[in-house]
Amino acid sequence: MRSVSVVVGLSAVLVVGGVAAAQQSTGGGRGGVGGRGTAIQPGESCPPGTTEIRPRSCMAPQSPAPSILDYRPHSTLVTPAHMVRRAKYPAIDYHGHPQDLVESSEGLATLGAALDSLNVRLMVAADNMSGERLQRTVAAIRASSQMRDRVRVLAGIDFRNVGPGWAERAVAQLEADVKAGAVGVGEISKGFGLSIKKPDGSRLKLDDPELDPIWDACARLGLPVFIHTADPQEFFEPIDNTNERWLELSLFPGRRYPPDRFPRFEEVMAERDNLFRKHPKTSFVAAHMGWHANDLGRLGKMMTEMPNVYTEVGAVLYDIGRQPRAAHDFFVKFQDRILFGKDSFQPEEYPYYWRVFETHDDYFDYYRPYHAFWKLYGIDLPDSVLKKVYYQNALKLTRALPR
């Protein structure tokens, strides 16, 4: 027993002595910080303008710090790079916003050339069209010998003035839009659930029972519902030094949802999930991976519990590409219910998606630095999964798409 006590006591002396020595020699090692650090307690953060240089010791830089806008370090990492200009398999862009390009023969020709360069075979225009505009757009597409089988449109729903008689009018308009050529519904905008009001001034909730007839009609007509709910969770949080979307929110302050004017993120998501559960015969596509690409466990739980829900990857590549192992496993597990979509139509940005999905490249740039200051990695999906994500799942879900 005495020998154990001696060993324990000696260990304590070595540990305490080591800590003391380390504290006294803050200036040792490369850089010679010389004890100029500011001590903090365990669990505390460094004071503003300083960073941690040793455990519980903070110091300010001796040179003026560049702004977050100007700091663009050049990586010295040298690794294989595989630039992928065209998708390995023909893709269907289920989240297209070609806007006025689909309203004229000249615009359609421009769109077709861009899609050809990327190996995008078909674009689903998710511009929330209805009535006369939808009819004009479909007519222009059908008149194009080059593009008549390469663009399809989704029908919009007008959620204003929900009340007596609204459901009948909305269903009648939807049926007319389908007859005119719509292949689904959407993109239902983020305003639904955030800002659209009922005639009495109350917020129109996503799971409002007065909307049930329109979702039932979608099931009856075999129309998938492509829905954009809310925005990234950080947009609902304070703009401070801990918010990883600080730069975007500072550049575009209108993207933030302060609590005195908007419902909370979790409140809207609860309504969305209740909508999905209430209508199991209706197929829903949660745009932008439901804004849960940063929490794939949560998204996976939702998709497991709700087999009528698909998801789509538009504008969340920054989250997919920063977790390559988790994202790879998620895509493999839910390979039958993930759709490719790009969102904003910028042809030069599509190759970033191909590179993330098709390669195992390390540490490369994302296409919009204000979205994400971190790097991306390839998730190296198997060919069988790529085919499903790129086109097979869209064809399975939306039976009116050209085969």
Mean pLDDT by 10 residues, the chain (403 residues): 38 35 38 68 92 93 88 91 97 96 96 98 97 97 96 97 97 98 97 97 98 98 98 96 94 96 98 98 98 98 98 98 98 98 97 98 94 95 98 97 91
The pLDDT of residue 34 is: 52
**Is the pTM of the predicted complex or chain greater than 0.85?**
yes
| Contacts of residue 368, Cβ cutoff 8 Å, sequence gap at least 6 | 318, 349
The pLDDT of residue 1 is: 40
The pLDDT of residue 35 is: 60
The pLDDT of residue 25 is: 35
The pLDDT of residue 71 is: 86
